[in-house]
A = this chain, B = another copy of it.
Amino acid sequence: MPQVPLDELNRMNRREFAAALGGVFEHSPWVAEIVHAARPFPSLRVLYETMIIAVRNASDERQSSLIRSHPDLAGKAARDGMLTRDSAREQASAGLDTLSAQEFTAFHRLNTAYREKFVMPFIICVRRHGKDSILRQFEWRLRNDAPAERETALTEIFRIAALRLDQLVVGPDRLKVHGRLTTHVLDNYCGAPAAGVEIEFCEVAASGQSRTLGRMATNADGRTDRPLIAEQPIPIAQYELRFAIGAYFVRQKTPLADPPFLGVVPIRFSVADPEGHYHVPLLVTPWSYSTYRGS
């Protein structure tokens, strides 16, 4: 998707402007249309906040209509390929396009219960959650009363909008919508970064099922060339890093037991703050290791 510079947006007429930003709020180009008058925007942040205010100032009806424009999660529209391109991408990011029959049933039950209680679809910024976390949010929010839940829905809509805007427009600033997950392997046996350590990066569901998100190896500085996750929120979920430490020390010709005490070292942790920086290093010898949330 080509990005539009903020400068260019600032020079657009209302029609062009609405065409460019009409998708930031689901099926609701009116937000962009209202905001057009407030040009020029010095920063992405100001543009974003102006859009939020436009929604906040809209009539209850318009807000309700915005809320109701959202599709169900893993619902009929998804199955029938009737989602907006943005929604389709977002739902796929959390794996909602490949649910098991059992999961599908769970979502269906929750969608129905939610619609019955609140007369609106369940809205959540799925890019900030793994599947388990979405289901947990679903259960919790079903216990809300209607006004609290309407407010929660708007908050989630604003989060979705921030992410869409961030992907769409290049400005002098960035919205704070991204987290960062990094690692580092330090060899305390040699007192040096551990290079060439193979790492498998997985998401581990509450059910115990594990899905590989990536494989990489440490470079000369003991780090991965790129962060494990960056330029996106870190979905709230449980992760596991699996470090092939035994193979590393074998390559280093370190004297080892047979089999080595440490083969693959698994580090399992959960992310609760999708916009946070999680640094999860491994300090290791053939006989010991430690890890911590670093920065």
Give the contact-size bracket for chain A.
35 or more
- Contacting residues, chain B, for A286 (C-beta < 8 A): 191
- Contacting residues, chain B, for A257 (C-beta < 8 A): 191, 270, 272-273
A216 CB within 8 Å of chain B: no
Query: Known contacts being A287-B292, A294-B186, is A238 close to B261, with CB within 8 Å?
Result: no
**Chain B residue at minimum C-beta to C-beta distance from A190:** B287
A75 CB within 8 Å of chain B: no
- Contacting residues, chain B, for A193 (C-beta < 8 A): 295
A263-295 near B? 1/0 per residue, CB < 8 Å: 111101110110000000001011111111111
Decide: B273 and A283 in contact? CB cutoff 8 A. Answer: no
| Copies of this chain, count | 4
**Chain B residue at minimum C-beta to C-beta distance from A240:** B266
- Contacting residues, chain B, for A268 (C-beta < 8 A): 262-266
**Chain B residue at minimum C-beta to C-beta distance from A288:** B292
State the Cβ distance, A232 to closest chain B Cβ, in Å: 19
- Contacting residues, chain B, for A273 (C-beta < 8 A): 257
Decide: B285 and A188 in contact? CB cutoff 8 A. Answer: yes
